[in-house]
Structure 1
Amino acid sequence: MKISSPVYSQITPFMGELNWDFSPCDELLELQVAWIHLLKTQYAKEISEIRQGFTAIGITWKEFDFQQKFISQFKSLSPKRQELSNRIWEIPVCYEAPYGSDLGNLALAKHMRVNELIELHSQPLYRIHFFGFLPGFMYLNGLPEILHMPRKAVPDRSVFPGSVAIGGAQTGIYPMESPGGWHVVGRTPLTLFDPHHDPPVWASIGDRIQFVPISSDEMTELLENPIPPTHR
């Protein structure tokens, strides 16, 4: 798949953005990872922050002149595409009550059985594109279009840590308690973010995620006797 080079836009004297006119996919992520590697190696002293999105990379420069230098060199830069990880993390998820608090209503809205929705949600291999919103919150690509659902008109005041939810064209896992407007379909007993662990997040950009349905009895056992995440 041929993906055109990004366009660089200066937003402020100290901020700019690389943008691709392309839908999120593995090939685009490979290019984004390559550009981030280039920025961190060739411009490390000039950059104060790099932020990644599905189709963009935001850059904050320490000085105005550093951005102008990058703009003058931009068209000559050609980072080598980075191969993505082969790791697949298996995430146990209990879709049963009370963990999948919005599962029934979502199934009704989609005119499908609950078991069908669970099967559709747990079959794909989701790719981690970036982290944001909350520490350890994975932005995943790969939710089947039939499960896309607008966010709630009135967000929940509090969503439990580990809640697996659907919002718009994405699914994700809340790493900590937080207000949230996504539809909660289940919960994982795994800890997604631990500030006392190095690194605090066990997964990386480019890894893949697969949700593995478990029973409420298995959920109780894993909550009482936590296990580390596993991958294959």
Structure 2
Amino acid sequence: MKIVRFGDSALLLNFEQKIDEAINNQVLSLYKQLQEIKEVTFLIPAYCSLTVGFSENTSFKTLSKQIEELNSKSQSTDLELNSKIIEIPVCYQTPYALDMNEVSEKTGLTQQEIIDTHCQETYKVYMLGFVAGFAYLGSLPEQLFCPRKEEPRKEVLVGSVGLAGLQTGIYPANAPGGWQIIGRTPIPTFNPKAEKPTLFKAGDAVKFKPISTSEFEEIEKRVSSNTFNLEEYYG
């Protein structure tokens, strides 16, 4: 781990620069522990880095020493991250699976094999980024590895589920994007007006569940009419 200054009131923790679950666990371990330090003003975890904001009541040198001590302890003990598992319903059918044929051509898998393979894994939320609430999930089974589209779309619909390299993700809002879209969820994953705006946080686990177009439309109607209760849906 390397600690560098990040402006006047923040520092950046850099780990080995690659997407790796063990490295990300180390990031999340420190993320969890640093929440207990009152001088820490904000924390932004990523794949292999952690941005730490601090108040004027501490200094770069003092906080760096605290972090080094915490990191040393976290490497010598098994920290329980207490990840929760969130099941996301996805319709993998037309008209939601915009790139299913392209993914099938690139992977050599049938549509049903793509769906089955995508749903068999439990994915880790490595980080949030790109747009508010966008969760980078990984890692995909190797047989689903697929490059981004050569020409990104100007707009990808909210709820679209895509693939890119070893990652999968859900668009939390209408946004431009180049991921290969294989389905769509009717579940809202981001609400800026809610007390907890994002459905996901770094360290959570996600599973996908296939649903029919009629099931999609039923949930979508409830969301549109404000009769869909996210907490009730997840018990």
Identify the residue that residue 174 of structure 1 maps to in structure 2.
Answer: 171
Deviation at 1:79, TM superposition (A): 4.8
Given the two structures, how large is their TM-score scaled by the length of structure 1? Answer: 0.84
Q: Distance in 1 between matches of 2:153 and 2:12?
A: 32
State which of 69, 91, 107 in structure 1 corresponds to 2:62.
69
Runs of 5+ consecutive residues of structure 1 not aligned to the other structure: 1-5
| 1:129-168 correspondence runs (5 A) | 129-168=126-165
TM-score (norm 2): 0.83
What is the CA–CA distance in structure 2 between the aligned matches of 1:136 and 1:57, rounded to whole Å?
17
What's the CA shift for 1:75?
Answer: 3.7
The Cα of 1:11 is off from its aligned counterpart by: 5.6
Matched AA of 2:142? E
Q: How many residues align?
A: 224
Q: CA RMSD in A?
A: 2.5
Corresponding residue for residue 11 of structure 2: 16
Question: In the alignment, is residue 211 of structure 1 matched against residue 204 of structure 2?
Answer: no
Identity level (%): 30
- 5 Å-filtered alignment, 1:76-95, equals 76-77=69-70, 78-80=72-74, 82-95=79-92
Checking the alignment, whether the CA contact within 8 Å between 1:128 and 1:206 is kept in structure 2 is: yes
Work out whether residues 34 and 79 of structure 1, in 8 Å CA contact, stay in contact via their aligned partners in 2: no
Contact 2:97–2:184 (8 Å) recurs in 1: yes
Instruction: Tell me, in whole angstroms, the C-alpha distance in 1 between the residues paired with 2:48 and 2:83.
Output: 22
How big is the shift at 1:62?
Answer: 5.5
What is the CA-CA distance between 1:193 and the residue it aligns to?
0.8
Deviation of 1:217 (Å): 1.6
Cα displacement (A) at 1:51: 1.9
In structure 2, distance between residues paired with 1:103 and 1:206: 28
Q: Which residue of 2 aligns with 1:53?
A: 46
Partner of residue 125, structure 2:
128
Deviation at 1:50, TM superposition (A): 2.5
Task: Return closer, same or farther for 1:38/1:85 CA change in 2, 3 Å cut-off.
Answer: closer
What one-letter code is carried by the residue in structure 1 that aligns with 2:221? E
CA contact (8 A) 2:90 2:186 kept: yes
Contact kept, 8 Å, 2:137 with 2:169, in 1: the verdict is yes
Return the alpha-carbon distance in structure 2 between the equivalents of residues 139 and 79 of structure 1. 28
- The 3-state SS of whatever aligns with 1:189 is coil
- In structure 2, give the amino acid aligned to 1:114: Q
Q: How many Å separate the matches in 2 of 1:75 and 1:221?
A: 51
Which range is displaced more, 130-139 or 198-207?
198-207
- Hey, what's the Cα distance between the residues in 1 that align with 2:204 and 2:67? 29
User: Contact between 1:88 and 1:231, CA under 8 Å: does it hold in 2?
Assistant: no
- Kindly provide the amino acid, as one letter, of the partner of residue 143 in structure 1: L
Q: Unmatched 5+ residue regions in structure 2?
A: none
- The CA distance in 1 between the partners of 2:175 and 2:135, in whole Å, is 15
Moved more, 110-119 or 81-90: 81-90
**Is 1:35 the equivalent of 2:30?**
yes
> Which has the higher mean CA deviation after the structures are superposed, 172-181 or 205-214?
205-214
Contact 1:152–1:181 under 8 Å retained in 2: yes
